[in-house]
Amino acid sequence: MKAADLIDETFLAYNGGRLREAARLLTDKMLPENGYVGMSLTGALTPAGLGKSCLIPWMKAGFVDWVVSTGANLYHDLHYGLDLSLHQGSPFLDDVDLHKHGVIRIYDVIFDYNVLLDTDAFVRSVIQGPEFQRSLGTDEFHYLLGKYVDARAKALNLKDTSVLATAYRYGIPIFTSSPGDSSIGMNVAAMSLRDQAVSFDTNRDVNQTASIVYAAKSTGHTSSVFILGGGSPKNFMLQTEPQIQEIMGIEEKGHDYFLQCTDARPDTGGLSGATPAEAVSWGKVDPATLPDCVVAYVDTTVSLPLLTAYCLSRSPRRKHKRLYNHRDTMLNTLKSAYLKVGSVSKTSIGRKGVQKANDIGKKHKAK
C-alpha cells in the first residue's frame, strides 16, 4: 500500500484523522491555483535527515515558496552539504563518556566534535567574502551562503544533500527569526570582533516577509502557512499579517490556510499563543477560512515524511516562483502601499476593541 493510500484509507479518527485532513488541505487547497506557501521549521529536523528526505523533495517539487527556520536547522544542514558524517546513535548513551571522546549527541543522532569545527571554519571563510561585508537580510545572507554550499557540493560530487543549496538553486528565500541564536550567528558575531562588516538587517526581514504575503494577496493568490513545530519561526511567519494590517494600516484579512504539526499544547502556552482560532483574533488568519485550518498533534519526524509522500503522490509539481529574485520589487510594492495609507487613523477601531474588552472584563469580574 502506498503511503498516500494508507493515509486516505486508514487514518480515520483522532490525530490520524487530523493528519488526513492536513494531507487533503495541502493537496486540495494550499498547493493548487499557484498559491503562495510558506513553511516554518522548528526543532532539530535537518540533523535527523529530514532535510534530504523531505524538505529538499518539497523544494524541488515547487511545493514551498518561502521558509522561516531556526538557525540551528540551517547550521546542521551545512554538515550534509560539506559531506561531514552524522550517525544513528541512541538516546540512552552515556553523555559523560561521549564528551570524553569528543562526540556530540542530538537525542539519537551522534557526530564527531570536529564536524562542528569544520563547519564553523567553512562559515567563517565564506562570510569574509566582499559580498558579505554589509548589513544583509537573512534571506540574502542564506542565499549567498547557499551559493557557496552548492559550489562545494558540486566539487564533492554530491547531489541534493543541502537545503540551503537547494533553496539557492530554486530562488526560495529562507529567513531566520533569531539570527544570533545559532552557530551561524555565533560565527558572524565572532567575525565582527575581527572588523568584518557582515551583520543582519532584522528590519528588512520583518518587512520582506510581510511583502511576500502582500504580494500573494494583492495579486489574487492565496497565502498558506505550513508550520512544523512552533516557537519563534512560527510567530515570525504568522506576524506578517499583523504587520500589514495593524502596523502598516493596510486593509487585509489574514492568511487563507493554516496547517500546523506539533506535539505542544495550547493550555500550557506551548503553541506560542496562536492556535488557528486564537490567530483569527490577531488578524493572522482569515476568519472565513477558519474551518479549513488544521492542527495535527503529531511529531514532525512522523508527520512530515507521510505528508511529503502524500503530496508527491497526489499533487502535480508546481512551477518555482523564485521569490528571492523578486525581493526588491515586492518590498517596494509594500512600501508604496504603506506610504499611500499614510497617517490614516484607526483610533475608532481601537476604541471599539477597548470597549469590548472592558465589557468582557466587567462580566468576568461580576461572576
Would you please indicate which residues are annotated as catalytic (active-site) residues?
284
Three-state DSSP class for residue 214: helix
Burial of 328 (0-12, 13-18, 19+ CB in 10 A): exposed
User: Residues 71, 75, 80, CA angle at the centre, nearest 5°?
Assistant: 145
Which DSSP state fits 3?
H
Burial of 159 (0-12, 13-18, 19+ CB in 10 A): exposed
Q: What single letter denotes the amino acid at residue 228?
A: L
Q: How many CA atoms lie within 13 A of 161 on its CB side?
A: 21
Burial of 106 (0-12, 13-18, 19+ CB in 10 A): middle
- As a whole number of angstroms, the distance between CA 285 and CA 240 comes to 10
Bridge partners (DSSP) listed for residue 261: 228, 296
> Phi/psi of residue 62, each to 5°?
75, 20
Alpha helix ranges (H) inside the chain: 3-10, 14-25, 50, 56-60, 71-81, 95-100, 113-126, 138-155, 163-170, 183-192, 202-218, 231-238, 240-242, 276-282, 300-314, 327-341, 347-366
Nine cell digits for residue 302: 512522523
- Do 177 and 110 form a contact (C-beta atoms < 8 A)? no
- As a whole number of angstroms, the distance between CA 235 and CA 270 comes to 12
Three-state DSSP class for residue 287: helix
